[in-house]
A and B are shown apart, each in its own frame.
Chain A
Amino acid sequence: DTGVSQNPRHKITKRGQNVTFRCDPISEHNRLYWYRQTLGQGPEFLTYFQNEAQLEKSRLLSDRFSAERPKGSFSTLEIQRTEQGDSAMYLCASSSFRRPEDTQYFGPGTRLTVL
């Protein structure tokens, strides 16, 4: 169990550029979540996958955001035409339905700065 990993850890981009983040969940976990966290706030739910199916999307996930989990393992989160308001920490978490509490295990996050 190597934990949830996220890449890159930091990303600085100019407004209008596209960025893509990757999340590798714990290997046996079939559920994967994306959250966004701004300074001084708690994580806000963005979207959730069970295996490769995207089952829920927050209204925070505008048309510029897209997430995929093509083979039910790693996931990518893409932001198109970035805006300064997209600057935040993007957190990924995974969980397994086999655990009774379905605890979510979080990765270290990707910090995005949009200039």
Chain B
Amino acid sequence: SQQGEEDPQALSIQEGENATMNCSYKTSINNLQWYRQNSGRGLVHLILIRSNEREKHSGRLRVTLDTSKKSSSLLITASRAADTASYFCATAGDQNNNDMRFGAGTRLTVKP
């Protein structure tokens, strides 16, 4: 069964704008990860945030985690048309990530 729920299900923005996607989950976690998937392709790991971290940055990506609300957000700044993809959050109950559970994803479209 899937653990995370992404919100919104779909997001359409103009190039240069920021995109924010949210993820909520139900049980306690060791870490939360964000992945990206281009249409018909495999998933690419973007960033991992541990349960004792509140914010993490990687290039144009900023991830926050609020364990009290069981939620996370992914912010992509200065979006580009090449950012068009589906974005998934995945939660893991332990550091080995053997029990990763994915949400249904947010489909992001960045218009040039």
Binding site for B on A (CB under 8 A): 4, 31, 33, 40-45, 48, 55-56, 89, 91, 93, 95, 97, 101-109, 111
Contacts and interface: CB of A to CB of B under 8 A. Distances in A.
Nearest to A95: B97
Which 10 pairs from chain A and chain B are nearest by CB? A42-B102, A106-B42, A106-B43, A102-B97, A108-B42, A42-B88, A43-B102, A103-B45, A101-B48, A107-B42
Contacts of A111: 40
A45 B42 contact: no
Given A40-B104, A42-B102, A106 B44 contact: yes
Contacts of A108: 41-42
B104 A91 contact: no
Contact residues on B (Cβ < 8 Å of other chain), bracket = 20 to 34
Given A40-B105, A42-B2, 10 more contacts: A33-B98, A41-B2, A41-B104, A41-B105, A44-B102, A48-B98, A91-B42, A102-B96, A106-B42, A111-B40
A19 B18 CA distance: 43
Contacts of A103: 33, 45, 48, 97
Contact of A45 (B31, B43, B101): B101
A22 to B, nearest CB: 15
A42 B97 CA distance: 16
Interface in B37-59: 40-45, 48
Contacts of A97: 96
Interface string B84-98: 000010100001111
A105 B105 CA distance: 18
Contact of B99 (A43, A45, A89, A101): A45
B98 A55 contact: yes
A91 B95 CA distance: 21
Nearest to B107: A40
A42 B48 contact: no
Contacts of B40: 89, 109, 111
